Amino acid sequence: MIITGQYVITRPGEVVPDGAICIDGEHIAAVGKRDDIIRQFPSKSVLERHGCLVTPALVNAHCHLELEFCENKVQYRGNFVEWLQEVRNLKHDMMVLPGYFPERSVKAVLSSGTTTLCDHYTMQMDFEAIRQAGLRYYGFRELFEFNNHHPNMKRLRDATICSYAVHSSYTTSAEVAQAALAIAREKGVPISMHLSEMQQEIEFIRSSNSDIEQLLRRAGAWDDDWHGTGMTPVQYFDSLELLAPDVFCVHLNYITTEDIEILAARGVTHVYCPRSHAFFMHPDHPLAKMRDAGIHSCLGTDSYGSNVDLNILEEAKLAWVEFPQFPAEEILAMMTENSLRPLKLEGELGKLEKGYRADVAVWEGCEGESFEDLMRWLVRQKTANLVMCNGRIVHEG
Ligand SMILES: [Zn+2]
């Protein structure tokens, strides 16, 4: 199949006017000018998309699909730990059961041009249905085991469909976190972790925090031997050798200059969730300082517990308002290639190029000609006209 477009963005900074891509099975066979591609592949059917922008499909690097039930139900009253407890209570009250298929969320992700999703989960969902819907799904099983100092490796190995999420520095013990990373490495997959998300966490890891202690006590996970470390969460996790290029560090809202040096030296990938960040009213994010230090950041939506939808373009739009100095290339990279190294998908996704996977999004009614103008238009879109994952149409608007 050939898809044509008024403009084809093939990678950050590169636009082909009157372009087309030719798809052969799950991969891209060629990208170029429309007339050349049609001439080169005369037997292929042509999907003409006049007036459309064709781009690589996007990546959402942090989500919690299972929190679909939180939509319009959870408020933030200024205390993060209370919010977390409310989400946990609500999950219990709503009786969300294993086998659950968050269909509306999956459709929302796909319709926003996203085909690859990094998702924290706590219970067995209908993972087969999620994949059947056409999402390249990376499930990170959340570990909330602060007082477990002797993880059962067999149980841990069997506990996930893909990898692990160290829920946080204040809810996962050092031993469980290290075991999860070791198993993930055997499997060749990254791990994901919320880190340095909020002020209570900083206090708790340094010395103590009564809100977090209560949360852990209620969850039956309090550790009587915990006395704090005198360190920041980043220093603490670094001392446990948990920070590495195969790790997604989500949030990093409260970090010091020294933390930034550590994160850069370890080569972690950072995930920024701008609308979730705004929901919790955190102070300005140190994203620009991190970028200056050479840290790769990508974007995530987080969940319906702290966001109104799962459209990654809305995250890009807000990030660009907050960091207007970022070039358009960086904004696209944060939704595509910046998250691919830990997933080992570099050279396969994030660009429209011969040999890459046919993950494509088509957007109707584009405005502008330059890469920057097209990106300024793209971040204002809600729904793609057509989305393909591995050469299969997974959304058509
Ligand atoms: Zn999260």
CATH number of the domain within which 12 lies: 2.30.40.10
Residues 248 and 277 in one domain: yes
Q: Are residues 322 and 361 in the same domain?
A: no
Domain enclosing residue 27, as ranges: 2-57+350-396
- Residue 224 and residue 324 in one domain: yes
Does 187 lie in the same domain as 141?
A: yes
CA of 251 to the centre of ligand 1 (A): 8
Ligand 1 centroid to residue 22 C-alpha, Å: 37
| Other beta carbons within 10 Å of 254 | 20
* Beta pairing, strands 136-143 & 114-121: parallel
Question: Which CATH number characterizes residue 88's domain?
Answer: 3.20.20.140
Q: Do 108 and 186 lie in a common domain?
A: yes
For ligand 1, the distance from its centroid to the CA atom of residue 215, given in whole angstroms, is: 17
The answer on 250 and 390 residing in a single domain is no
Separation of CA 12 and ligand 1 centre (Å): 27
> Which residue from 211, 205, 135, 123 is spatially nearest to 159, judged by alpha carbons?
123
Give the chain's domain count: 2
Distance (Å) from CA 254 to ligand 1 centroid: 15
Note whether 53 and 64 are same-domain residues: no
How far apart CA 161 and CA 55 sit, in angstroms, is: 30
The reply to whether 306 and 363 lie within a common domain is: no
| Token output for 56 | 């690589």
Residues 40 and 70 in one domain: no
| pTM of the predicted structure, to 2 decimals | 0.97
Query: 242 and 98, same structural domain?
Result: yes
Task: Give dist(CA 211, CA 198) in Å, integer.
Answer: 12
C-alpha of residue 203 to centroid of ligand 1, in Å: 20
Question: Are 291 and 314 part of one and the same domain?
Answer: yes
Neighbours of ion ligand 1 (CB under 5 A): 302
pLDDT value, residue 254: 97
HSE (CB half, 13 Å, CA atoms) of 222?
A: 14
The CA-atom distances, in angstroms, between 104 and each of 75, 139, 180, 268, 293 are 21, 18, 30, 32, 38
Q: Are residues 318 and 366 in the same domain?
A: no
Block mean pLDDT (10 aa), the chain, length 397: 98 98 98 98 95 98 93 89 90 80 95 98 94 97 96 96 97 98 97 97 97 95 96 98 98 98 98 97 97 98 95 98 98 98 96 98 96 98 97 96
Q: 14-24 and 27-33: which strand pairing?
A: antiparallel
Distance in Å, CA 250 to ligand 1 centroid: 7
Q: What token pair was written down for 332? A: 């696209």
